[in-house]
A and B are shown apart, each in its own frame.
Chain A
Amino acid sequence: MKNRILIVDDSFYMRTMLKNMLTDAGYEVVGEAANGQQALEMAAATRPDLITLDVILPDNTGLDVLKGIRLDQPDVKVVMCSAVGQEVIVNEALESGATAYIVKPFSEEKVLEIVGSALQEAASDQA
């Protein structure tokens, strides 16, 4: 079974890049959300294994989305995407249950490494 991933980012550019990286690596991208509301709806509808979540979104902040998703799906792995200088938010996200974080601009290797180990963690959670 391919691991299923939901991408949340308000930039189409970032979403496209992430989608290409993840699909090339053999993951299934089940949806792309551009704002917090869409993210919550798509997360509920697609029940992915992992979500990449941008820290700054137009309607909610990424943190609110993270908390919303956590209420509904305590097991899904969430990888925060942030830029340099957002360490405070990233720390808060990790405390609120984010699995890991990637710092933009990200390299393909780094993304795949972090997503891969988060999913491995998910597999061993279930075992």
Chain B
Amino acid sequence: MKSREQEYREIFMSEALEYYDAMSRHISELERSPTDESALNELFRLMHNLKSNARAMGYTPIGEVAHHMETIFGLIRDKEKAFTGSVVPVLFKGIDTIGEMVRAVGANEDLPDVVHLTANLDRLVQGEEPILEPETTDDEDATRKLELSDLVYIQVKKLDHLMNLVGELIIDRDRVLTLSQEIGNPALIAAAAHLSRIADELQYSVMDARLVGVGSLFSKFPRVVRDVAMAEKKDVELTMTGEDIQIDRNILQIITDALLHLVRNAIGHGLETPAERVAAGKPAQGHLLLSAQTERDDVLVQVRDDGRGINVESVRRKAVERGLVAANVAATLDDNAVRAFLFEPGFSMAKEVTEISGRGVGLDVVKLAIDSLGGQLRVDSVLGQGTTFTLVLPTSIAVKGALLFQLDQRNYAIPLMHTDSVVSLLPENFNVVGGMLLTRIQDENVPVVSLRRLLHNGDGPLPPAVRTDLEGRQDIIIVNYNNRRLGLIVDRFLRQQDIVVKPMSKPLDTIDLFGGVTLLGSGQVCLVLDVPALTRLFLAKRP
């Protein structure tokens, strides 16, 4: 076990190196604009932290230099001194020296001599001229050690390739495991079990290597929010939380535009102008929260505003006007079901097209991006108080939890992301309304359809359902897409399993009912159903 001293030392080192990098960056900014207040504040703060931490660790020379540097940056910040003339090279030298000292601590070497530097820093504090060393000679450059970073940058393409190979390996692993059981040779079984463990570990290592902090995307938003708020004449304060939450880099890439759209929308349409807010009894400044958190295996990314909220009644009216739903049905839908219309193609609530967020891209595009990841998009809103969009995302694209079941002797899989529950029901638990089977699940009427009929019925509408079609217990998977629940009758549940989904090859890739295919340990091919497409098919074909 690591001793506490060792833990402190490691934390000190990693933070000190981070500080050093940031200091180098900020002093270069200062060189370009010598009165840059935020650079000065940061330099002051970083020096201050380094001083405190170094003193606590007993690295007195680092603490000394940082203390002097902090004092001088404080003087410059308070305009008692200027970042010009001989001050500049001394401060650059100071930061270089800090870097050398921190590296020396890391390598367990003696700290460099800092007497000359601290004397010069003292002179600066007292308003005297520093004594500058002669220009660095070539000799010194030649003896300077080259440092290789502990980090490597790698192209995402290479990681993708690695992930694909691991996917293939996992499929072969399952195959070898099954074969070894069938053959029953103890040595083979032991070797297969070992292979399986190694493959698992490799899979998680590769998945882990692809993870990045959500902060790497969030960090681009303060600027976006400022620009959009200015163009829309809104006063917006942005808060971000959960920047450390880890997610697959490609998922972050795919949701970038969606998040940008949601943030623009929130400022353009969600938040009111300062005058409107004051009139509504709210603070003039609107608030926007960008947050990430983990929930079981998923990552939730939320965009929350405290603006005007979504008017459910006008969405309901518009859905009827657009012919998305009959007026009598619309009247019975609950608020969540009505808000789900916002994600239908071309459904835009913007009354006027504004420069920033009205470019004809609706929420349906956001929805499509999230669907392509096998994620979910939700919206919650309270009229007058604000709106929250929630993106439910998988941590990794490669492996998905799935429910395996059988239909007509064939194996199928449904991603767990879209599965609400599984139930086994007797015929008397069903009602037939308008030719459609309904069952009550958690106080809600859920339509139920035989998956066999849905898949094999051709293009026409489904024949009206009759209860006598049902014999004995029915195994039903309740799927959920865009707040619509649907029960699918299957022949038999098999099990829950992590699967590696491979895209369909041409020409089958045009069949959108299947999100891909996976191979089971038995070597059998298993089709992965796409719940969004299935739900759309049901809506189009229902009697």
Binding site for B on A (CB under 8 A): 10-14, 16-17, 20, 37-38, 41, 56-58, 83, 85, 104-106
Most buried by A among B7, B42, B45: B45
- Asked if B45 contacts A104 (CB within 8 A), the reply is no
Given contacts A11-B15, A12-B11, A38-B241, whether A17 and B49 have CB atoms under 8 Å apart is no
| Residues in A neighbouring B55, C-beta threshold 8 A | 104-105
Do A13 and B15 touch across chains, with their CB atoms under 8 A apart?
A: yes
Query: Are B48 and A83 in contact (CB-based, < 8 A)?
Result: yes
Would A13 and B45 count as touching, CB distance under 8 A? no
B32 at the interface (CB under 8 A from A): no
Kindly state whether residue B339 has any CB partner on chain A within 8 Å: no
Contacts of A17 in B (CB 8 A): 8, 56
Instruction: Return the chain A residue nearest B51 by Cβ.
Output: A83
Q: Are A14 and B239 in contact (CB under 8 A)?
A: no
A13 touching B51, Cβ below 8 Å:
no
Q: Is the CB of B15 within 8 A of A12?
A: yes
Least CB distance, B19 to chain A, in whole angstroms:
9
- Residues A10 and B49 in contact, CB atoms below 8 Å apart: yes
Q: What are 6 A-B interface contacts by the 8 Å CB criterion?
A: A10-B45, A11-B53, A12-B15, A13-B15, A38-B241, A105-B55
- Nearest CB in chain B: distance from A98 CB, A: 18
Chain B residues 34 to 71 lying within 8 A of chain A, measured CB to CB, are 42, 44-45, 48-49, 51-53, 55-56, 71
Given known contacts A83-B52, A104-B55, A105-B56, is B239 in contact with A13 (CB within 8 Å)? no
Number of interface residues of B (CB under 8 A): 19
What are the residues of chain B within 8 A of A57 when measuring CB–CB? 45
Kindly list chain B residues whose C-beta atoms are within 8 Å of the C-beta of A13. Answer: 8, 11-12, 15, 53, 56
Asked if residues B48 and A56 are in contact (CB atoms below 8 Å), the reply is yes
**B302 → A minimal CB distance (Å):** 14
| Alpha-carbon distance between A103 and B326 when the two chains are bound, in angstroms | 70
CA distance A85 to B51 in the complex (A): 12
Q: Is B506 an interface residue (CB 8 A)?
A: no
Asked whether B4 is an interface residue with its Cβ less than 8 Å from the other chain, the reply is yes
The tally of CB-CB contacts under 8 A between chains A and B is 46
CB proximity of B212 to chain A, nearest CB, Å? 19
Contacts of A38 in B (CB 8 A): 241
In the bound complex, do residue A11 and residue B8 qualify as a contact, i.e. CB atoms below 8 Å apart? no
- Report the 4 A-B pairs with minimum CB-CB distance, sorted nearest first: A105-B56, A105-B55, A104-B52, A11-B49
B239 touches A11 (CB 8 A): no
* Assembly CA distance A105 to B436 (angstroms): 73
Q: How far is the CB of A42 from the nearest CB of chain B, in Å?
A: 10
Min CB distance, A32 to chain B, in Å? 12
Report yes or no: B4 in contact with A14, Cβ–Cβ below 8 A. Answer: no
For residue B45, which residues in chain A have a CB less than 8 angstroms away from its CB?
10, 56-58
- Residues of B1-24 whose CB lies within 8 A of A: 4, 7-8, 11-12, 15
Residue in chain A with minimal CB distance to B11: A13
Whole-angstrom CA separation of A10 from B45 in the bound complex: 9
- Identify the interface centre among B7, B49, B241: most chain A CB within 10 Å of its CB: B49
The distance from the CB of B289 to the nearest CB of chain A, in whole angstroms, is 10
Instruction: Beyond A12-B15, A58-B42, list 6 extra A-B contacts (CB 8 Å).
Output: A11-B49, A13-B11, A56-B45, A56-B49, A57-B45, A105-B55
| Given A20-B4, A56-B45, A58-B45: A14 and B241 interface contact (C-beta under 8 Å) | no
| A43: min CB distance to chain B, Å | 14
Q: Using CB atoms, name the residue of chain B closest to A37.
A: B239
Look across to chain A and name the residue whose beta carbon is closest to the beta carbon of B52: A104
- CB-CB under 8 A from B71, the residues of chain A are 85
Q: Cα distance A14–B50 when bound, in Å?
A: 10
Q: Is the CB–CB distance between A104 and B56 below 8 Å?
A: yes
* Chain B contacts for A41, CB-based, 8 A: 239, 241
Chain A: minimal CB distance from B483 (Å): 29
Cα distance A106–B11 in the bound complex, in angstroms: 17
> Considering the chains assembled together, what is the distance between the CA atoms of A85 and B67 in angstroms?
10
Pairwise interchain contact B8-A16, C-beta atoms closer than 8 A: yes
A33 to chain B, nearest CB (A): 11
In the docked arrangement, what's the CA distance between A17 and B42, Å?
23
Write out the residue numbers on chain A whose beta carbons fall within 8 Å of the beta carbon of B7: 16
In Å, the complex CA distance between A14 and B239 comes to 24
